[in-house]
Amino acid sequence: MRNVKIITDSCADLNADQLNKYDIDFARMTTSLDGVESVASLLWTEVEAHEHYNKMRNGKRIITAQASVEELQRIFDKYLKQGMDVVYIGCSSKQSGSVNTGYIVAQKLMAEYENCTIVCIDSLNASMGEGMLAIEASKMAKNGASAKEIEEHILSIRKRVNQYVTVHSLDALRRAGRVKGPTAFFGNLMGVKPIIIADANGEQAAYKKVKGRQKSFEEIVALLKATIIEPENQTIYLTHADCETEEIDALVNLIKKEIPCRGIEVGLIGPIIGASIGPDAVGIWGFGEEVTYKIGE
């Protein structure tokens, strides 16, 4: 049986330690600021992330672009040449076209390489929701599962990813076209903090709203506590967009107090997701009840 390489993309928000530990690679998307294009790397440092988010705090809008045909062909080809099969777990197709591009590239390459398999999976998630699925796929690959076996399992659990994210300001969501200007203005004025989830179709949805930063932290923990299944057997993932260390430490302590999980891993929201959600956003993820909520229902 051929070995399987797990690939995700710049939306997955896995940090360098996680990418290395689980032997995961990622297709590079790009960002653009003032006409200058840069690779959206998940390997950035805290200093680089701080500079990125400070530009947004100063009113800059960062434009993002999905993984290109050339980039997906490069990274698939890299591992096919090593005699490996590929499983690509991409950002939700409701948020990025990368996974659909992946399907096209995969068909082309499978016609060129004999007996290879490339599986492209729409994660229906982004950020660490996507990253969690890549980690689960990696564990299976390490235990000898085939690409098709990994695909079947990931498709069966992708709606069990429970995401709860809150933002500090609505400005970035406004600039990205996610909320209208007046809504953002009055929301900021009133201290409204939306709780954002990934719905059953892979859309990012404002599930509910609360007032105040501390209340939003308490709410995301309460929501995950209510939906997570067997927390003692899993890791909870926390990612943030350059928040203050004291805030993150307090949130970690709150999670430990409320949810008896096996562990908590903390990382940064990467340049692609961060460009839309903005500085000081924070989210937590775990596997739990199947997500059935659909935006607009």
Supply the pLDDT for residue 179: 38
Confidence of residue 173 (pLDDT cuts 50, 70, 90): low
Number of domains in the chain: 2
Would the pLDDT of 176 be above 80? Answer: no
| CA angle at 215 for the pair 95 and 60, rounded to the nearest 5° | 45
Sheet holding 24-27, edge to edge: 24-27, 4-9, 85-90, 118-122
Distance, in Å, from the CA atom of 219 to the CA atom of 255, rounded to the nearest integer, reads: 11
Q: State the residue range of the domain holding 171.
A: 160-287
Distance, in Å, from the CA atom of 98 to the CA atom of 111, rounded to the nearest integer, reads: 20
Distance, in Å, from the CA atom of 118 to the CA atom of 293, rounded to the nearest integer, reads: 31
Tell me if 10 is assigned to some domain: yes
Domain boundary residue, one of 100, 125, 159 = 159
Burial code (b: 16+ CB inside 10 Å, e: under 16) for 153-182 equals bbeeebbbbbbbbbbbbbbbbbbbebbeee
Task: Indicate if 240 and 178 belong to the same structural domain.
Answer: yes
pLDDT in tens, 9-61: 999 999 999 999 999 999 999 999 999 999 999 999 999 999 999 999 998 98
Distance, in Å, from the CA atom of 253 to the CA atom of 281, rounded to the nearest integer, reads: 18
Q: Indicate which CATH number applies to the domain containing 227.
A: 3.30.1180.10
Spatial contact of 69 and 62, defined as CB atoms under 8 Å apart? no
Tell me if 103 is assigned to some domain: yes
- Which of 8-17, 141-150, 152-161, 173-182 comes out lowest in average pLDDT? 173-182
Tell me if 293 is assigned to some domain: no
* DSSP code for 88: E
pLDDT in tens, 61-76: 899 999 999 999 999 9
Task: Indicate if 124 and 253 belong to the same structural domain.
Answer: no
Q: How many residues does the chain have?
A: 297
pLDDT, mean of residues 93-111? 96
Supply the pLDDT for residue 102: 98
Tell me if 296 is assigned to some domain: no
Task: Indicate if 239 and 198 belong to the same structural domain.
Answer: yes
Q: What's the whole-model pTM score?
A: 0.93
